[in-house]
RNA sequence: GUGAUUGUAGCUCAACUGGUUAGAGCGUCGGCCUGUGGCGUCGAAGGUUGCCGGUUCAAGUCCGGUCAGUCACCCCA
């Protein structure tokens, strides 16, 4: 047991697990591309101020969950706890909004200083999408559709899309008042947390799981009762759009989210398999965020989808298929063969443009051990080169799955041509696939 | 941040009420099966029982602290 360990709430990802991440990420890039989204990469840390202003200074994230530090220049910096504010900052910094609507996505880490538990880590990974410049309900539908496509691609069961509208900046004060009028008379009966929320952010009471709050929440006024005509029409249009393209959803009048910047549409994809951290994807519209960070009034919609939680769901449905056997192991026996194999190995690796792994077990090991290592390394085939083969100018091409083999006549003097022959043989054995399937 | 619970070889787990050199399976490495891997067989390496301290003649077993895992609360991906 090493004294050095990964910090609490962080994790290493290594083979074979890392292959699942790569496969998922490949899928993500492909789906984002199909929806016309371009990747944006922003720094892992930002000025603390950005999150305070963007996410809201009374949110839990800003109050107690940020990894904040002071650098040597005395600046207060924070590891990003969410990714929408940084994207907006980048957009404004490079004046990208002046060239029209922007469709952007990102994949990577974010950080929150919380006690780890199932589905919650201090460093986690997320795929997120932000669509700027469209206030129309079609944009809400587009973003939800994108997330839905990813879930559908993996046939994830037990997922529900929960949807709500929390109105816009103009609707908000009236609703706040209505909630205060509703909860204030029962102040003493509410949970301690909810009494605090009454002061700071009454909306969040709706999210409480405390049993003592439940009765009061159940008959609290909902936003849907008080929406302005415009917000109402927007919400109805989003729902109609989802219906039109066959995305099932349920309206959840109590759904509120943890960031202050949301307006109108908020949504979550929840799973019944993830314990209490059951939101796999959450998002919504934020029509006022860009302006509040100093930019031109620009509507936006987006979501964040947790990669750890997504992978956990795949585990849950028993999707951890055994990694497919792939690649060629070069086996060399004897000094002459080893010398030739050095060039052959390099030629195979250079020639191959479709990602066939080429490995070799170096050293004087006998055939048995080299085959054993090839087997353990999950190679699909082995190419054996010994004194007999060198003398006859052939190579033994062995199928490690069928346990059969044949001799390929090759010009050993030319490593390049030999490599081509071997790869041609291998391609018949195992055609290339577009996507790694090991997820 | 709060609470509960767990922490023994790379992995999964043993070790009666505290009692001699902490065991097994899998994995790893090596031998045998005379250039052919999944089987078989023989053998080896590998642990300051998370860490620190305490109680005791004696601690993997009890107590405290600390670190980490797990689960829940809070909140969220």
For residue A372, which nucleotide's C1' is closest to its Cα?
A: B37
Distance A17 CA to B46 C1' (A): 25
**B48: residue with closest CA to C1':** A1
Question: What value does the mean pLDDT take over residues A400-414?
Answer: 93
Distance A3 CA to B52 C1' (A): 13
Taking the CA atoms of A77, A83, A86 and A90 in sequence, report the sign of the dihedral they define.
positive
Question: Which one has a higher pLDDT value, A201 or A397?
Answer: A397
- How confident is the model at residue A322, as a pLDDT? 58
CA distances from A149 to A105, A177, A246 (A): 15, 39, 12
Q: What is the mean pLDDT of chain A?
A: 89
**Nearest Cα to Cα of residue A166 among A151, A181, A155, A176:** A176
Q: Helix, strand or coil for residue A368? A: helix
**B35: residue with closest CA to C1':** A367
Domain ranges of chain A: 17-171+227-316, 328-429
**Nearest Cα to Cα of residue A154 among A305, A304, A278:** A305
Distance A13 CA to B48 C1' (A): 30
- How confident is the model at residue A211, as a pLDDT? 74
Tokens of A236: 């109805």
> How many CA atoms does the CB half-sphere of A185 hold within 13 Å?
5
User: pTM of the entire structure?
Assistant: 0.90
- How confident is the model at residue A42, as a pLDDT? 97
Strand segments (E) across A166-243: none
Distance A175 CA to B65 C1' (A): 50
pLDDT tens, position by position, A301-343: 999 999 999 999 888 776 555 567 889 999 999 889 999 999 9
Q: Which residues make Cβ contacts (< 8 Å) with residue A241, sequence separation at least 6?
A: A137, A138, A140, A141
For residue A325, which nucleotide's C1' is closest to its Cα?
A: B38
Helices first, then strands: H and E counts in chain A = 16, 16
pLDDT tens, position by position, A281-306: 999 999 999 999 999 999 999 999 99
**Nucleotides of strand B under 7 angstroms from a protein beta carbon:** 1-3, 9-10, 28-31, 33, 35-38, 48, 50-51, 67-77
Query: What ipTM did this prediction achieve?
Result: 0.86
Question: What value does the mean pLDDT take over residues A98-103?
Answer: 95
- Right CATH for A17-171+227-316 from 3.20.20.70, 3.40.640.10, 3.30.930.10, 3.30.43.10: 3.30.930.10
DSSP-assigned beta bridge partners for residue A176 = none
CATH class given for the domain over A328-429: alpha beta
> How many CA atoms does the CB half-sphere of A314 hold within 13 Å?
22
**Nearest Cα to Cα of residue A271 among A354, A160, A365:** A160
Q: Which helix (H) or strand (E) holds A160?
A: strand A159-165
Distance A250 CA to B76 C1' (A): 20
The reply to whether domains A17-171+227-316 and A328-429 share a CATH topology is no
Distance A274 CA to B48 C1' (A): 40
């Amino acid at each position: 047991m090493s004294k050095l360990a990964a910090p609490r709430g962080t994790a290493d990802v290594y083979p074979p697990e890392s292959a699942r991440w790569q496969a998922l990420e490949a899928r993500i890039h492909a789906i984002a591309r199909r929806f016309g989204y371009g990747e944006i990469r922003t720094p892992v840390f930002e000025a603390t101020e950005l999150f305070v202003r963007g996410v809201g200074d009374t949110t839990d994230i800003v109050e107690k969950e940020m990894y904040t530090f002071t650098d040597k220049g005395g600046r207060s910096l924070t590891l990003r706890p969410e990714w929408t504010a940084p994207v907006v900052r980048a957009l404004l910094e490079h004046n990208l909004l002046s060239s029209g609507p922007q469709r952007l996505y990102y994949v990577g880490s974010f950080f929150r200083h919380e006690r780890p538990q199932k589905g919650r880590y201090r460093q986690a990974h997320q795929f997120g999408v932000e669509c700027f410049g469209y206030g129309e309900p079609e944009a809400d539908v587009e973003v939800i559709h994108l997330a839905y496509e990813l879930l559908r691609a993996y046939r994830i069961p037990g997922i529900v899309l929960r949807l709500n509208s929390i109105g816009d900046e103009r609707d908000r004060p009236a609703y706040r008042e209505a909630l205060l009028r509703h909860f204030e008379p029962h102040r003493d009966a509410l949970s301690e947390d909810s009494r605090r929320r009454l002061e700071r952010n009454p909306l969040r009471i709706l999210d409480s799981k405390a049993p003592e709050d439940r009765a009061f929440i159940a008959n609290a006024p909902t936003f849907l009762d008080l929406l302005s005509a415009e917000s109402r029409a927007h919400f109805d249009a989003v729902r109609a759009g989802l219906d039109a393209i066959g995305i099932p959803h349920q309206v959840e009048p109590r759904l509120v989210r943890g960031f202050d910047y949301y307006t109108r549409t908020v949504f979550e994809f929840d799973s019944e398999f993830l314990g209490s951290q059951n939101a796999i994807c959450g998002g919504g519209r934020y029509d006022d965020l860009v302006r509040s960070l100093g930019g031109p009034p620009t509507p936006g919609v987006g979501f964040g989808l947790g990669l750890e939680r997504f992978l956990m769901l795949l585990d849950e449905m028993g999707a951890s298929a055994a990694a497919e056997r792939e690649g060629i192991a070069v086996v060399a026996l004897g000094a002459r063969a080893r010398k030739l194999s050095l060039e052959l190995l390099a030629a195979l690796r250079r020639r191959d443009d479709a990602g066939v792994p080429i490995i070799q077990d170096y050293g004087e090991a006998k055939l048995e051990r080299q085959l054993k290592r090839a087997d353990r390394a999950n190679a699909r085939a082995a190419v054996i080169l010994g004194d007999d083969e060198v003398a006859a100018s052939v190579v033994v091409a062995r199928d490690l799955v069928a346990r059969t083999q044949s001799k390929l006549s090759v010009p050993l003097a030319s490593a390049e041509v030999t490599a081509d022959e071997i790869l041609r043989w291998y391609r018949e054995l195992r055609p290339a696939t577009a996507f790694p399937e090991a997820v």
